[in-house]
Amino acid sequence: MYIGSICTQPVESCTAECSAFELAGIMRHTHVGDVVVIEYRNGGAIPIGLVTDRDLVIEVMARGDDPANVKAGQIMSRGLVVVSDADEIGVALDEMHRSGVRRLPVVDNGGSLAGIVTLDDIVRHLAELLDGVVKVGKLQQMERQRFRS
């Protein structure tokens, strides 16, 4: 299963010039806990960082900074790890484990932002697959019992 088929689309994004106040507003109005920071290059929205609700609390609020004066580029995570929409789920899980993160921006073959995938998205998908396996097993068991009767 490809990441592109389970990732959240569209994904909330902003440029590095977006204020922490604006970020909080985006998160509040769209009910998300993260915003991908992008840079427009070659006609695409290239992910360059990520700001989470936790970043807003720790990097802005706890320091007593004015959210209107703090830019996304100042508090975003750097060294952003991304996955391709054509990658298998296992690749995303490996990247999450290796990087110690629970969410990854998803890019298309041109490197532009295509979505975001979270550990919860992957677990939900795997649970659906396992549910299907269990149902098939139960059907097979019922068939065997029917033939024995």
Q: pTM of this prediction?
A: 0.84
- Burial of residue 66 (CB within 10 Å: 0-12, 13-18, 19+) is exposed
Q: Tell me: the pLDDT tens digits for 85-119?
A: 999 999 999 999 999 999 999 999 999 999 999 99
Which residue ranges form the domains of the chain, and what is each CATH number? 3-118 (3.10.580.10)
**Of 104 and 130, more confident:** 104
CA distance 80 to 87: 17
> Is-contact 34 52, C-beta < 8 A?
yes
